[in-house]
Amino acid sequence: MNRILFGDNQFFAVNHLSEEKSQTQAVRFRDNNEIIKVLDKAYDLGIEVFMCTTHDRIAHICDHVRSDPSRYANFRFYPCMPYAHKYWNAVTEHGILGSLNQFFPGNVVKSVLQGGMSAARRDYVGMMKLMVDAEMAMFQGLPIDYVFLQNVVTDLLLGLGMPDFFKAFHDYVSEKYNAKAGFITMNLPMLLDTLEEAGIEHPTVCASINKVGFRMCGGQDRVESLLRDERCEAIAMQVLAAGAIPPKEAIEYVSGLKGVQSILFGASSEQNIRQTRDLILARSG
């Protein structure tokens, strides 16, 4: 896995520090060409992995990359699914059955109509496979090395005690897409125990890792200990703790941790992309 991964929060008005900045970004990036310009800047600076949600607009980015294979020969997507807001909005607009028909036409709607929602719930592995296939459709023909389960689902399933779901997701991604499954979480200690219980050895996990313990469930000391034990292929996210830590200080901390394989960050200007890249590379050398 590459040392530096580029995220997409800034493109879809996600800013944990400032609502005003979120709105400014929403206006700037309502044009897909503006997103492509930033991705091109990152790519030209040697950042080749775009770890992104399955937001509908990512499909346009996929089309753009497919249209110029020589330009993007080394460009990689790491899809993160599901994009929960897409489903919530659909349910609000179309209702449950309408949403099922929109995203999972055919057998799912038929089973719901014939057996009720309880029948669909019993086949959660089948539902998971349909959802993965629906989310992966936009990446058809593109090389995919990793597919991640978003923390909104990962942590919900942790709370429900469903390790078998993680194993089913892990195996399906490997068998169907020849990719490695990854899991995004806010609770690294609990997730690692659960994945190992499910028979997933040395999993790929993306978790909050930062100097002030922001969103590091289980405690900073516990997370650092797990990283030192190298029980997973760890990706550090939220390294700036929503802006609470200066970039140089943040990167020095996370780069100095044994067990951190990659660092995920998002930025919208060439200056900030270059600065973060240089800080990471300086500490990785």
- The domain locations on the chain are 4-83+139-284
pLDDT of residue 99: 47
pLDDT of residue 131: 87
CB 231 within 8 A of CB 202: yes
Q: Residues in the chain with pLDDT < 70? A: 13-22, 24, 26, 84-123, 285
Q: What is the pLDDT of residue 113?
A: 47
Alpha carbon distance 191, 208 (integer Å): 13
Q: How far apart are CA 226 and CA 217, in angstroms?
A: 13
**pLDDT value at residue 274:** 97
Q: Is 32 exposed, middle or buried (0-12, 13-18, 19+ CB in 10 A)?
A: middle
How far, CA to CA in Å, does 77 sit from each of 44, 61, 91, 134, 142?
A: 16, 10, 28, 16, 8
CATH level 3 topology of 4-83+139-284: TIM Barrel (3.20.20)
Model pLDDT, residue 118 = 45
**pLDDT value of position 283:** 87
